[in-house]
Amino acid sequence: EKTLFLAVGLLFLADELTILTTLFCERLCSTEDCIPGTGTYLRHGYIFASLAGYVLRKNQGEELLVISVVRETETQLLPDVGAIVTCKVTSINPRFAKVHILYVGSTPLKDRFRGTIRREDVRATEKDKLETYKSFRPGDIVLAKVISLGDVQSNYLLTTAENELGVVVAHSEAGAQMVPISWCEMQCPCTHAKEFRKVARVQPEYLQA
């Protein structure tokens, strides 16, 4: 069912994606109407804008639309559920790895969005035996897929539980870029020391990123 929306002075029809302008701290809607996404925060049952920009209402397969706010330059660069993203690992602990999202597909982001790869989302099998530090290390470059919008501080939930996803670039303790030798190990070409990683089977379209 389509709805009419007023956006930047123009009236148009849309059923999945709608765009309006908003101000910082402006109340957008009730939590009964939408799910909060990037650039929003919750207060007393209402969703507010955490920055000035464009409001995006998008159908992501949920019962309610997901509402997000992005700056004008970011309107085409918002990581979406199902998108393949390139990330840099910033920290790890036994439960998850924290990352900065650098690319959506092959398109660089001007602002870095934060993401989380939970232990249960690292690989598809033997999840109970997985140790995060044997999958990622800070500084690693990782290919991942967006699975959820996570919390309201632009913290996306990501997965690497596919063969094509995981670490694509990692450096050894000696500072050399390591070479994949299996799906779970990389080797330093200088010292020949091996380190554990969740290694991606990189597809050609992602090699340049």
**pTM (whole model) above 0.75:** no
> How much is the average pLDDT of 187-194?
94
Q: How many Å apart are CA 79 and CA 97, to the nearest integer? A: 18
Average pLDDT over the chain reads 78
Among the CATH numbers 2.40.50.100, 3.40.50.11750, 1.10.1380.10, 1.10.1040.10, which is that of 1-73?
A: 2.40.50.100
- How far apart CA 58 and CA 185 sit, in angstroms, is 39
Domain coordinates in residue numbering, the chain: 1-73, 83-201
Q: What is the pLDDT of residue 128?
A: 76
Fold agreement between 1-73 and 83-201: yes
Q: What is the pLDDT of residue 143?
A: 94
pLDDT digits (tens, 9 = 90+) for 9-36: 222 223 334 445 566 678 888 988 888 8
- Nearest CA to 197 out of 130, 150, 152 is that of 130
Q: Helix, strand or coil for residue 29?
A: strand
Name the pLDDT band for 151 (thresholds 50, 70, 90): low
The whole-number pLDDT of residue 1 equals: 32
For the domain made up of 83-201, give the CATH fold: OB fold (Dihydrolipoamide Acetyltransferase, E2P) (2.40.50)
Task: Report whether 59 contacts 80 (CB < 8 A).
Answer: no
- Lateral strand order in the sheet of 34-36: 17-22, 53-58, 65-70, 34-36
pLDDT of residue 161: 92
Q: What's the pLDDT score for residue 104?
A: 85
Whether the per-residue pLDDT at 51 is higher than 60: the answer is: yes
Res 20: pLDDT: 53
Rounded mean pLDDT, 124-136: 85
Q: How confident is the model at residue 126 (pLDDT cuts 50, 70, 90)?
A: confident
Q: Decide if pLDDT at 173 tops 60.
A: yes
> What is the spatial distance between Cα 100 and Cα 156, in angstroms, rounded to a whole number?
10
